[in-house]
Chains A and B, each alone.
Chain A
Amino acid sequence: MLRYIAKRLGYSVLVLVGVSVIAFGLLRLAPGNPARLMLPEGASEQEVAALAEKLGLNKPLITQYLLYMRGVVTGDLGTSLFYKKPNLELITQSLGPTFVLTTVAIVVALCISIPLGIVAALKKGTVLDFVAMFFALLGQSMSPVWLGVLLIYIFSVSLGILPAFGYGKLSNLVMPAITLGTPLAALTTRLTRAGMFEVLQEDYILAARARGLPFVKVVLVYALKNVLIPVVTVVGLQFGTFLGGAIVTEQIFNWPGIGRLSVSAVMSRDFPLVQACILVVSALFVFVNLAVDIIYTWIDPRVRLG
């Protein structure tokens, strides 16, 4: 197992180097000079050139890239052109809120969708099943923009029981978590339902029941583990994606997360910050995937890594 992890970590480093090269290159290819964007509209060419020089944007690309990588290795992810603060500081400040939002959204989504999916499978064909599937369809069809704003209008403007925006209290977390988690909950409900229904047909389930094991134990212990494999995959991927910043949700609810940070960095062509964000998010994604693979071995003993 340890050798496997070491090997995977090695691959991860390669992946991250590749990502950094691509990010660096793509950013430089896109038209748009950060120096120009920082000065008032219509600044003269000399002013733009002077600022570009000061920011080190005129050095040859290879030099810029190597300087950047040297920094990364020593833990210095560069300084934001716009905020004039170390990127690492900006990112770590933003990761906290994103992490909180992501975790809560996923936990809430799973707490609702897995039981719902199980019940739907058990009661297949009944009203309960229909309701669950309707919810799943709705959840996957609704745009987070629409859902988020709708929630604000219902719970903040009309009912006045939740704050419309902001970050800090538990009440701030409710609507963003629901907005972010709903599409995932919808998907997981369907996966759980389909998986559970299939698994319950299996011979080993019948055998367990025949041995006299209580139904609840059969469902929750034997069947669920096998149903969870696709669910874990999806959740793992989604977690990584969400960590990259639930951009839309963060925008609507004014959540100070890494999604918002990345977007504004891109819009202002803040090269160092964008690169740093991409690198950090990619690293997180890679490690989350590694964690998911390790969790597999716990869930499904047939899986051997390495």
Chain B
Amino acid sequence: MARDVVRAKRERVGTVLLAFVLVFALLAGCAGKQAGPPAQAKEKVVVFARPEDVQFWDPQDHFNLVSWMMDKLIYNTLVEVTPDGQVVPALATEWSVSQDGTVWTFKLRQGVKFHNGEVFDGQSVKVTLERFLNEKLRQGPLWGDLAGVDVVDPYTVNIRLKRPNGALLTALSLTSMLPPKAFAEKGKSLFDHPIGTGPFEFVEYVRGDRIVLKKYPGYWGEKAKVDKIIYRPITEDATRVAGVKTGEIDIADTIPVDDVPALSQDPNIKLIRELAWDQIYLGFKCDKPPFNDKRVRQAVSLALDREAIVTHIMKGGRPSSGLVPQGCLGFHEGLSAPKRDLNKAKELLRQAGYATVKVNLIAPEGWYPKTKEVLEAIRGQLLEAGIETTLTLLDGAAFAERRAAGNYDVYYTGGAHPGGDPDFIFYQRVHDDAMKSGYRNDALNELIEKGRAASDRAERANYYKQAQEIMNEEAAPMIFVYQMEQILAARKNVTGFVVRGDKITDLRYVDKTE
């Protein structure tokens, strides 16, 4: 009898506790349901997501694609370079260059106001550009040839160079104009609340969570079509993809190629796949064996099966034909990616006196998609030609150190061209040999110098084409593997945004229909 009472009591306790558990589970679910997805506001908001956060708000002190994307919305530049390589006016209406190429004269647009009411004129150009003379900034390398800026009259400026530099226009397309008075007053703290002349005004920045911009109704050009743009940095691929599916994100960037089949089935989503102005290449150490021998370098190039990598691993992009990717200034249509030729590769190795070759390849972890898979493929391909590769996958910082010290036989890396201009990469990595390959070719360097100095873009392109011909023949200091593809997923009702090969997506005229 007592036992029954005890048991009954036990049952009751058990039931109570179980109810406790269930109630909590229910509450958790309910809390979710009530808060739910945000209510449709009356204003038009477009949400863009990418893996990286914007860390750098000083428009001259970064070398970061996401920062440039934001800068494009908040600021303007003197000129712009369109995705197909045309240089068009923006804050400058016309320009000319002196006979000797060292003085560029720009006529500026009138009637432009900054978000704080300041008027845009020559002072802005002077104050902005002279920062490069007075401060050490991350975009400094773009302005190495700057001598000074003269304000001839409020709407005419002369930019003086130490020597001719046609890449000036590209550099200008990446340099946002600052409000001179506000910058003089606040200095760098201005960038806690950036002020520019662009179609959007800065509202807020919550680090790691979001950037909010709102339409600037006083814009000098075509006004923005949406009321707000919100940028959200979301590192996890799965989360970003999920966000587009639920509609919490309107445009998501850097979609893994493996998610493409599933996303293309979704009737609310459209996929945008375009070539990026970024290529993966292998850089050789050219001043010691085995890669000091041109034949060995060419053997590697011929042993690679670029087609296979593009088709089966990357499932997009194209095999590279030279340093300049398709879509950039100086792209050489006459060159094509070397087709795999194992026999020739082996023959070249034999001629060079090697039966087999052992090389050490270093690569950065996590910088590029599918690095491991591509490396494995490369190793297998090279092995078939008698080249044994030891793969060393390093974390980004360690890799950068070794590469800069020249501590490698061959390294794997990418090279992007902001603004679609190869000048930067040509100069830094070939002419100035930042990766210490030890390769030196005076004819090649001269072409690179001319490519920079010429003011006419067609002329520059010509020099770059010739430079690539030499590089391909010499297979030095690097050979190019494949050009990357960029994949974006957007809701079907979002239009008007321009995808660029340098991933500085132009969101100024994005629109969303209901």
Contact = CB atoms under 8 A, between A and B. Distances in A.
Interface stretch (A69-77, A110-118, A227-235): A110-118
B232 A166 contact: yes
Contacts of A119: 14, 17-18, 21
Interface string B198-234: 0000000011111000000000000000000000111
A93 B233 CA distance: 17
Nearest to B23: A111
Contact of B434 (A42, A170, A254): A42
Contact of A164 (B63, B235, B246, B397): B246
Q: Is the interface of B mostly helix, strand, loop or mixed?
A: helix
A125 to B, nearest CB: 13
A161 B32 contact: yes
Given A108-B24, A122-B13, A252-B238, A44 B63 contact: no
Nearest to B64: A40
A32 B207 contact: no
Interface residues of B, number: 64
Contacts of A38: 138
Contacts of A94: 208
Contacts of B401: 31-33, 36
A254 B397 CA distance: 24
B248 A40 contact: no
Interface in A75-98: 82-84, 90, 93-94
B33 A166 contact: no
B428 interface: yes
B323 to A, nearest CB: 13
Contact of A155 (B32, B138, B232, B435): B32
A44 B428 contact: yes
A112 B24 contact: yes
B404 A36 contact: yes
Nearest to B21: A115
B242 A112 contact: no
Nearest to B435: A42
Interface in B391-416: 395-398, 400-402, 404, 413, 415
Contacts of B443: none
A161 B36 contact: yes
Among B12, B233, B235, the one with the most A-chain Cβ atoms within 10 Å of its Cβ is B235
A171 interface: yes
B337 to A, nearest CB: 23
Contacts of B404: 36, 45, 48
Given A32-B397, A157-B242, A254 B235 contact: yes
A251 B246 contact: no
Contact of A32 (B188, B248, B398, B434): B398
Interface string A244-283: 0000000111101000110000011100000000000000
B245 interface: yes
A283 to B, nearest CB: 22
A199 B501 CA distance: 68
A40 B397 contact: no
Nearest to B140: A47
A37 B401 CA distance: 9
A43 interface: yes
A32 B206 CA distance: 29
Interface in A192-243: 209, 214-216, 219
Interface string A22-45: 000000001111101111111111
Nearest to A177: B28
B248 A171 contact: no
Contact of B21 (A44, A47, A112): A112
A30 B37 contact: no
Given A31-B402, A252-B236, A170 B35 contact: yes
Contacts of A33: 397, 400-401
A164 B239 contact: yes
B242 A152 contact: yes
A115 B208 contact: no
Contacts of B13: 122, 215-216, 219
A36 B396 CA distance: 11
A156 interface: yes
Contacts of B248: 156, 163-166
A18 interface: no
Contacts of A149: 236, 238-239, 242
A257 B482 CA distance: 37
B239 A42 contact: no
Contacts of B36: 161-162, 171
A178 B27 CA distance: 13
Contacts of B38: 163
A289 to B, nearest CB: 28
Contact of A30 (B140, B397, B428, B435): B397
Contact of B63 (A30, A40, A50): A40
Contacts of A166: 209-210, 232, 248
A164 B243 CA distance: 6
A130 interface: no
Contacts of B239: 149, 152, 164-165, 252-254
Interface string B314-346: 000000000000000000000000000000000
B31 interface: yes
Contact of B9 (A123, A174, A214): A214
A277 to B, nearest CB: 14
A3 to B, nearest CB: 41
B255 to A, nearest CB: 15
Interface of A: 30-34, 36-45, 47-48, 50-51, 54, 82-84, 90, 93-94, 108, 111-112, 115-116, 118-119, 122-123, 128, 149, 152-153, 155-157, 160-172, 174, 178, 209, 214-216, 219, 251-254, 256, 260-261, 267-269
Given A37-B400, A111-B24, A209-B6, 16 more contacts: A38-B138, A39-B63, A40-B424, A42-B428, A43-B428, A84-B188, A90-B207, A112-B25, A115-B21, A156-B242, A164-B242, A215-B10, A216-B9, A251-B235, A251-B236, A268-B397
17 contacts: A32-B397, A38-B138, A42-B434, A43-B428, A44-B428, A47-B141, A50-B136, A152-B239, A165-B232, A167-B209, A170-B31, A216-B12, A251-B235, A251-B236, A253-B236, A256-B207, A267-B397
User: What are the nearest 7 A-B pairs in CB distance?
Assistant: A32-B397, A171-B35, A256-B208, A42-B434, A40-B63, A31-B398, A115-B17
